[in-house]
């Protein structure tokens, strides 16, 4: 019976310590504000990549295969982001069929066919496109991206 007051005192001290630790000495957690994720439109990414490729002047230094491979990759990445087509894994013909099913206009399909087939020939058939064709591939790529980008909805 002599030990009960002693045990109650120790339990009371422990209880007071835990309450002080929890409510008084606890570090206040600061709310971490997550920055909103900035989504860059696929057309801006593609145009920037095409402009950077143009600055590299690969075809002028004889790197035709690399030049057309990069154009093809940029356009295919754009197609994946913009039209949700598995363009990086599919051959050119299958990409064109998928885009036809999605309702892409024939004039844009013709432009895309020219770009991708020229790139395929340069990459796989060791074709040597002329200087005019090299310039035209870049111009057609920029025109294709600009013409097929998503239209912004304006709320007036």
Helix (H) or strand (E) holding 14: helix 4-23
For 62-98, what is each residue's pLDDT tens digit?
A: 788 888 888 999 999 999 998 898 888 889 899 899 9
How far is the C-alpha of 91 from the C-alpha of 52, rounded, in Å? Answer: 25
Per-residue tens of pLDDT for the chain, all 156 residues: 688 888 889 999 999 999 888 877 666 655 566 677 888 888 899 999 989 988 888 777 878 888 888 899 999 999 999 889 888 888 989 989 998 898 888 998 999 999 999 888 888 887 788 888 888 889 999 999 998 887 765 454
Burial, 149: exposed, middle or buried (Cβ in 10 Å; 0-12, 13-18, 19+)? Answer: middle
């Amino acid at each position: 019976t002599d030990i009960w007051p002693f045990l109650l005192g120790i339990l009371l001290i422990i209880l007071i310590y835990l309450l002080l630790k929890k409510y008084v000495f606890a570090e206040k957690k600061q709310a971490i504000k997550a920055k909103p994720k900035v989504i860059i439109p696929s057309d801006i990414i593609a145009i920037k990549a095409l402009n950077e490729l143009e600055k590299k002047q690969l075809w002028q230094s004889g790197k035709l295969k690399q030049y057309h491979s990069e154009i093809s990759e940029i356009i295919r990445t754009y197609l994946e982001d913009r039209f949700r087509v598995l363009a990086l894994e599919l051959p050119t013909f299958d990409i064109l069929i998928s885009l036809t099913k999605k309702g892409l206009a024939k004039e844009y399909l013709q432009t895309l066919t020219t770009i991708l087939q020229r790139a395929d020939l340069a990459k796989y058939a060791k074709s040597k496109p002329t200087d005019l064709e090299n310039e035209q591939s870049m111009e057609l790529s920029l025109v294709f991206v600009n013409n097929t980008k998503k239209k912004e909805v304006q709320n007036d």
